[in-house]
Structure 1
Amino acid sequence: MAQRRLRDELHEAIRVRGYSYRTEQTYYLWICQFVRFHHMRHPKELHEHEVEQYLTWLAAQRQVSPGTQRIALNALVFLYKQVLHLEFGQLNFQPAKPNKYLPTVLNPAEVSAILANLEARDRLIISLLYGCGLRINECLNLRVGDIDSQRSSITVRNTKGKRDRTTLLPKSLVSEVVSQREKAIISQAKDNQAGFGPSIPPALARKYPNAWQEPCWMYMFPSIQSSIEPMTGKLARHHLHRSVVQKSLKRAVKAASISKRVTCHTFRHSFATELLRSGTDIRTVQELLGHSDVKTTQIYTHIIGEHYAGTNSPLDTIAFAAPHT
């Protein structure tokens, strides 16, 4: 009973502050793992030392990334501050070691081969990831009102860090995007006749009670089936689930005989790499990607070799004859 009450209080605190449903799920899972780690003791019985133990265990035993450890920390800080109304002092735990790796990128020929093996809807989604530098969730969360076909631009809303940004819409995709937009509007009209519409964040639904009937709020890539909205308990149509696109992409990569490990995020990496390779200013790339720090964007200069620009291998400065065989 106490655990159920804690769960309900957590959900209420998250929803009042307008956090996404995905954040709600993520925080809840990390808090559950924290409780299990301490043998099902109630968080009120656990204090700073126990939090430090858990975070250190994540780094030392689970060997999670710094980002994953930070999400776990954020979940616990939210629980104690916003739900239990307890403040932490300075936490002393072992930080996770950063992973030093370069992301996988695709060259244009590989991208073309993958796109050729996708059906129309999924091809458009992957094309937007590659052509606009979108994350998969950003793409699937696009609504009709976010598309400006006249100016060839897309507004990406509520991204990482709760910021909005504008990115370019490739001119080669305008006609397909407009066609998809019309399909989405037709889908919404049918839903409205049945008495429901696209899922709307609770705060916006209160402010705009008729938003579910307005075309601008319809998802560009709506789910095939309607479902009960978990945050409101009402029937609604959500956007397409990312697993649908991921499965389609996996099949296309196999059909294209690409030996690299390709995910939806690979196309965002490839977008940035190709822009820098073509001479686009790194600050422009940073803005298009929505990075808060240019250091995050600089990783792509290493991929294209700009970090070593002007440096030649000593082997290239000598001439030698290959031995006879």
Structure 2
Amino acid sequence: VKDLDFGRMTVTVRGGKGDKDRMTVLPERMVFPLKEHLVRIKAQFEQDRREKVPPVYLPPALERKMPNAGSQWIWQFLFPSSNLSMDPRSGITRRFHYHADSINRNIRNAARLAGIEKRVSSHVLRHRFATHLL
């Protein structure tokens, strides 16, 4: 959540290619849908806190530096999973991010329903958006 900057109209993408962070533009037409989405996921976050669901996973170095960050709203995933799952490293059941395979499956289904016959994935959409910016 903290990687959205509506004031600067940017999104920070963490751990991308080469494990580097990068900043990209936030299209104006995505502001309203994203704000609506944030309202929905904040309700889920608040419900998780009430139900004592363990905080989100953070990288070990960040967890040591900021031990309570995983329980704070700004550190939550922008696209959290709708289900809780067990972290195989710690054995803790918590909410993770929506899996990339699930996102790509939803994109393919939407493309099929729209009558698009070409192969579509999040990677293809990212490149199309970059081309659009040129």
Distance in 2 (CA, whole Å) between partners of 1:153 and 1:230 is 33
Does the 8 A contact of 2:12 with 2:23 survive in 1? yes
Aligned to 1:199: 57
Alignment-mate amino acid for residue 273 of structure 1 = T
Provide the aligned length of Structure 1 versus Structure 2: 133
2:100 to 224, 229, 242: 242
Q: CA RMSD in A?
A: 1.6
Other structure's SS at 1:223 match? strand
Does the 8 A contact of 1:153 with 1:168 survive in 2? yes
Other structure's SS at 1:226 match? strand
Instruction: Give % identity.
Output: 37
Other structure's SS at 2:23 match? strand
Structure 1 segments of 4 or more deviating over 3 A? none
Alignment-mate amino acid for residue 254 of structure 1 = R
Distance in 2 (CA, whole Å) between partners of 1:175 and 1:253 is 23
1:167 to 24, 48, 52: 24
Alignment-mate amino acid for residue 149 of structure 1 = F
Distance in 2 (CA, whole Å) between partners of 1:164 and 1:158 is 5
Instruction: Looking at secondary structure, tell me which structure has more strand per residue.
Output: 2
Unmatched segments (≥5 aa) in structure 1: 1-143, 277-325
Other structure's SS at 1:260 match? coil
Distance in 2 (CA, whole Å) between partners of 1:264 and 1:164 is 18
In the TM superposition, 1:137-216 aligns within 5 A as 144-195=1-52, 196-216=54-74
TM-score scaled by length of structure 1 = 0.39
Alignment-mate amino acid for residue 213 of structure 1 = S
Alignment-mate amino acid for residue 232 of structure 1 = S
Distance in 1 (CA, whole Å) between partners of 2:40 and 2:112 is 29
Instruction: Looking at secondary structure, tell me which structure has more helix per residue.
Output: 1
Aligned to 2:80: 222
Q: Is residue 128 of structure 2 the alignment partner of residue 267 of structure 1? A: no
Distance in 2 (CA, whole Å) between partners of 1:273 and 1:151 is 21
Distance in 1 (CA, whole Å) between partners of 2:110 and 2:80 is 22
